[in-house]
Amino acid sequence: MALEQQTPWHQRIALVARSRAWARAKLFDTLRAVAQTDDGRRILAEALGDLADWRPASFERFSSYGAPYPDLATEPRDAAAKAKAPIFVTGRFRSGSTLLWNLFRAVDGCTAYYEPFNERRWFDPQTRGTHVDPTHRHVSDYAREYVGLEELDQYYSEEWTRRGLYMDERSWNPAMSAYVRLLIDRAPGRPILQFNRIDFRLPWFRANFPDATIVHLYRHPREQWCSSLTNLAACSQTCDLTTFRPHDGFYLLSWAEDLKYRFPFLDCSATTHPYRVFYAVWKLSYLYGIKHATYSMSYEALTQHPEVELDRLFLATGIVGADIDRLMTLVEPSRPRWSAYADAAWFKEHEEAVDRILDDFVAAERHRPAQAHSSDAPSGQWRRAETAGHVDDGGSRPVGPLLM
């Protein structure tokens, strides 16, 4: 006679079962709420620690073993699929990425999607609105490529704009992958996806979209800082993070709050000047871009020498037949403003303070086990990186405090 499975005692007594179910629900609701707080995330980050790299280093080799049965084999990609290999554009806010997107948009045979992770949800007629930033020259709308793509709603998450901004090649986000793949598949032409939120996700994008070409755009940090301020007077040379917060129009503080779990020096004092935080994120973004992108270009070069830079860009991305003369009419150089905000010495003091912290951070990273930082940014020459926006006098200095 088969053994009968006895119902646990706490399920046989109705009052106990209801009480237990209520207590469990309350407990897990509380844990979920705590996990969403800054303290909760800090506890989880510290507790998980070395478990973050739980996947074995050899995991990526599993796919090379092949299928044991012929009917399980995956069909190879055809030539048409390879011809539609996407181009991802990555750049910080106010880096000129809208200009670059608009240039791709004007190329015949390209389908250029503007900022796919934007909280305006371009695929949703109820949320995208019609407002266009007046500083975006020659742009009348952002969303026409998204018309008819309401199905993207099943994958989109607004948290992509402010949480999980760091993703390495082992990160797991099937919804994000499905969302991006749907945009690529639905594009009638060569898909171009222009992002402002993937600088620290580039390892993940490269791992999940190996056929993609990644174009990285950067801009002089002083100019980019001034461009991000809607009112220069509202964020003076003496302001701090508290007074800056109401004027933070481009997510600087929310980025620092999320990224500080990977880059602890972004956990800043309230008295820190926001330009230090800005420059730290700018420098990290730049280094991630030049390491993981296929092609990097500066905003200044694009606007000052558009014919030369567009030729180089299209050669790097495999685009042929673009009407360069027509595209050049969309390019308008911006007037430098940073010297009206502060002199070079003021900027240099803050930039050098940040560079000292970055050098110290890199030195500490070199002593970590190799597996723990397999996808980190370049490990050397933080201060000596050759960028249009970098300032360095080559001196040797002691390591300073965190971004104070």
Q: Three-state secondary structure along 187-219?
A: CCCEEEEEECCCHHHHHHHHHHCCCCEEEEEEC
Q: What is the mean pLDDT of residues 239-256?
A: 94
What DSSP state is assigned to residue 402?
Answer: S
Q: What was the pLDDT predicted at 175? A: 97
Q: How many C-beta atoms lie closer than 10 Å to residue 178's C-beta? A: 13
Residue 112's DSSP bridge partners are 192
The pLDDT confidence band at residue 255, using thresholds 50, 70 and 90, is very high
Q: How confident is the model at residue 381 (pLDDT cuts 50, 70, 90)?
A: very low
Quote the CA–CA distance of 232 and 271 in Å, as a whole number: 19
Instruction: Supply the pTM of this predicted model.
Output: 0.78
Say yes or no to pLDDT of 104 above 50.
yes
One-letter amino acid of 36: Q
Q: Distance (Å, rounded) from C-alpha 17 to C-alpha 107?
A: 65
The predicted-structure confidence for 264-320, as pLDDT tens digits, reads as follows 999 988 999 999 999 999 999 999 999 999 999 999 999 999 999 999 999 999 999
* Pair 113, 192: CB distance under 8 Å: yes
Question: Are the C-beta atoms of 342 and 351 separated by less than 8 Å?
Answer: no
Q: How far, CA to CA in Å, does 312 sit from each of 108, 194, 305, 315, 388?
A: 18, 18, 11, 5, 18
Q: Over 70: is that where the pLDDT of 200 sits? A: yes
Name residue 230's amino acid: T
Q: What is the predicted pLDDT for the residue at 182?
A: 98
In this prediction, residue 315 carries a pLDDT of 97
Instruction: Pick 214 or 401 by higher pLDDT.
Output: 214
308: tokens are 């030369």
Average pLDDT, the chain: 84
What does the pLDDT read at residue 314?
98
SS3 category, 372: helix
Two structure tokens written together for 402? 């965190």
Confidence of residue 404 (pLDDT cuts 50, 70, 90): low
pLDDT tens across 4-27, in order? 445 666 676 777 778 888 888 888
Is 235 strand, coil or helix? coil
pLDDT for 372 beyond 60: no
Task: Read off the pLDDT of each residue in 116-144 and give the average, rounded to a whole number.
Answer: 96
CA distance 143 to 388: 32
Q: Please write the tens of the pLDDT for every residue from 132-145.
A: 999 999 999 999 99
Angle at 104 between CA 102 and CA 110, to 5 degrees: 125
Task: Please name each of the domains of the chain with its CATH number.
Answer: 79-373 (3.40.50)
For residue 322, give the DSSP letter. Answer: -
User: Can you tell me the mean pLDDT for 79-100?
Assistant: 87
Distance in angstroms (rounded) separating the CA atoms of residues 175 and 172? 9
